[in-house]
Amino acid sequence: MINGIISFFNIYQEMNKDVILIVGSNGQLGTVLTQKLRLIYGVYNVIASDLYEKTGFEDNFITLDATDFKAIEEIVLKKKVTQIYHLAAILSAKGEQNPLGTWDLNMKTLFNVLEVSRLHNVNKVFFPSSVAVFGNNIDKENTLQSSNLTPSTVYGISKAAGENWGNYYFEKYGLDVRSLRYPGVVGYQSLPGGGTTDYAVDIYHKAVNNEVFDCFLEASTTLPMIYMDDAIRATIELMEADKEKITVRTSYNLSGMSFNPEQIASSIKEHYPNLKIAYKPDFRQAIADSWPKCINDTAARNDWNWKPQFDLEQMTKVMIENLK
Ligand code: SER
């Protein structure tokens, strides 16, 4: 029986030539993306990797420090990897505690992924960018794809540079690097860590546990956000789109919804009327103030038919159903 299953997997892998390596599979996006990709490609063909093994996620997992070029190279050669999703990074708020260390980590890991891919025939690379690439000198109500990039955080600087490196590897070496500028991602399956948009996940946890929510942003701070299912679907749709359709080789603007803490709190109060929220803005307020409120994602809609499905009310309903 076991031999039968193994040979079935071997045949399946032969038929389905794509072998995917996820770098940073324990993170907020990685946790969910790994599961979704495995539904499409099979567990055997989607290798999860991160610094530490997480309980419950041991299947086809490899411990990997992405700052170690040789370690990535070894996996890519041994497993005949054809696609890499490079999700490891230090986010906006945490990155400000150690600017140079954040730059080193975010760039070193990206260079390793790009170089290993170029040298060993990886077909496609996914690099997540962020609305953090934008800074104060933009139209915040309708932030265009082509807006100037003057990021206010080291994280944003590393993402803006990373987008350009992706474009460079595409232009110079033909490496098929694809990228999205994610808004703040909200999901129930995993917690974000060290970001400025994290409050929008935390508030749901506090609501279902009947705890007071201390919000580190002011009530009126509107930011672009996206529900996890939309974020994952956008990622897979972009990666599966025909190559000729991809006209943006830096990174696509991506829009889901926009709201501020007061609006998310009122949508939650429809289910938990007693939710208490205390506004205690800290250093993250200045980061949020420098970011767009609403993203124009026409290029993504035109090139690969992007369309978000979740608005704030729908997201709140699903978040609460799953967390309570
Ligand atoms: N959600 C991220 C952060 O807040 C931005 O990409 O840092």
Q: What is the pLDDT of residues 84-111, one digit of tens each?
A: 999 999 999 999 999 999 999 999 999 9
274's tokens: 């007693």
Nearest-atom number in ligand 1 for the CA of 92 is 7
Residue nearest to atom 3 of ligand 1 (CA): 195
Q: Quick check: is 270 in a domain?
A: no
The boundaries of the domain holding residue 185 are 18-190+226-256+294-309
Residue 14 has pLDDT above 90, yes or no: no
Q: What is the pLDDT of residue 191?
A: 87
Q: Answer yes or no: is 102 within a domain.
A: yes
Residue 10, pLDDT score: 53
Q: Which atom of ligand 1 is nearest to the CA of 91?
A: 7
The pLDDT of residue 240 is above 60: yes
Give tens-digit pLDDT for 26-68: 999 999 999 999 999 999 999 999 999 998 889 999 999 999 9
Ligand 1 pocket: which of 92, 201, 253 to mutate (most atoms within 8 A of CB): 92
127, 158, 196: residue to mutate for ligand 1 pocket, most atoms within 8 A of CB: 196
Pocket test for ligand 1, best of 28, 198, 235 (most atoms within 8 A of CB): 198
- Give me the number of domains the chain comprises: 1
Measured in Å, residue 261 CA sits from the centre of ligand 1 at: 16
Instruction: Output the domain CATH number for residue 130.
Output: 3.40.50.720
Cα 194 to ligand 1 centre (Å)? 8
- Nearest to 133, CA basis, from 111, 169, 106, 108: 106
Strands 184-186 and 176-182: unpaired
d(CA 8, ligand 1 centre) in Å: 41
pLDDT of res. 287: 98
Q: Does residue 184 form part of some domain? A: yes
Q: Is residue 10 one of the residues assigned to a domain? A: no
- Indicate the SS3 state at residue 160: helix
Q: Which of 155, 169, 252, 272 is catalytic?
A: 155
Backbone phi, psi, residue 258, to 5°: -135, 140
> In a 10 Å sphere around its CB, with 0-12 CB exposed, 13-18 middle and 19+ buried, how is residue 159 labelled?
buried
| 248 phi/psi in degrees, rounded to 5 | -105, 115
Is 279 marked active-site?
A: no
Q: What mean pLDDT is predicted for residues 272-287?
A: 98
Q: Is residue 76 part of a domain?
A: yes
- Indicate whether 281 belongs to any domain: no
Q: Which residue minimizes the CA distance to atom 2 of ligand 1? A: 195
Does some domain include residue 287? no
pLDDT digits (tens, 9 = 90+) for 152-176: 999 999 999 999 999 999 999 999 9
C-alpha of residue 90 to centroid of ligand 1, in Å:
9
pLDDT (average), residues 287-315: 98
Rg of the chain over all Cα atoms, to the nearest angstrom: 20
Specify the residue with its C-alpha closest to ligand 1, atom 1: 184
Question: Which residue's CA lies nearest to atom 7 of ligand 1?
Answer: 195
Q: Could you tell me the distance, in angstroms and rounded to a whole number, from the CA of residue 288 to the centre of ligand 1?
A: 10
Contacts of 10 (CB under 8 A, 6+ apart): none
What mean pLDDT comes out for the span 193-202?
96
pLDDT > 60? residue 4: no
What pLDDT band is residue 251 in, cutting at 50, 70 and 90?
very high
238, part of any domain: yes
Q: Which residues line ligand 1 (CB under 6 A)?
A: 91-92, 130, 132, 155, 182, 184, 195-197
